[in-house]
Amino acid sequence: MKIKLLPLLAGIAAMALTAIPMIVKAQPANLPVLPGLQEVISNLNLTEEQQAQFAQIRSETQAKLENVLTAQQKNTLQAAIAQGKPLRQAMASLNLTPEQKTEIRSILQSARQQGRDIVTEEQRQQLRQEMQSRRGQGEFRPRNQQR
């Protein structure tokens, strides 16, 4: 059975974007930091207030996501990430149920919208430009997965 995880992974990638400022300023993250992503986010020059808002969103979102996954899925995800597997492959190994996929999409969509509401239009545009210029260059893959 082929699982369509692209929308889910796009959401996770978007969530990773919102998480980077907090990873730098706050507690360690459970999700991997993708190479180049931290630089892109730091170029946005987020205010301390924006960083605090993102930290709150990240904390709430992480708690919600953890409630969706079973203990076994959490362990599988952490093990896959620890082994250096790409996030896409790590997520595919979870064998999410259709209900879990739907719930995760909803959680991530909400977090993305909250993140969009925090940044200015100028920051959004700058982020889009940075992402487009790096797309296809492999800059957001884990280091051991570079082509």
Would residue 147 count as lying in a domain? no
**Stated pTM of the model:** 0.63
| Domain annotation covers residue 48 | yes
Q: How many domains does the chain have?
A: 1
Which pLDDT tens digit goes with each residue over 70-93? 999 999 988 888 888 887 788 888
In a domain, residue 144? The reply is no
Note down the domain range covering 108. Answer: 6-137
CA torsion angle for 54, 32, 93, 3 (degrees, to 10)?
50
Q: How would you class 61 by CB atoms within 10 Å of its CB: exposed for 0-12, middle for 13-18, buried for 19 or more?
A: buried
Is the residue at 1 inside a domain? Answer: no
Query: Is 76 part of a structural domain of the chain?
Result: yes
**C-alpha 132: how far from chain center:** 17
Answer yes or no: is 31 within a domain. Answer: yes
Establish if 142 belongs to a structural domain: no
Higher per-residue confidence, 40 vs 27: 40
Q: What is the pLDDT of residues 93-128, one digit of tens each?
A: 899 999 999 999 999 899 989 988 999 999 989 988
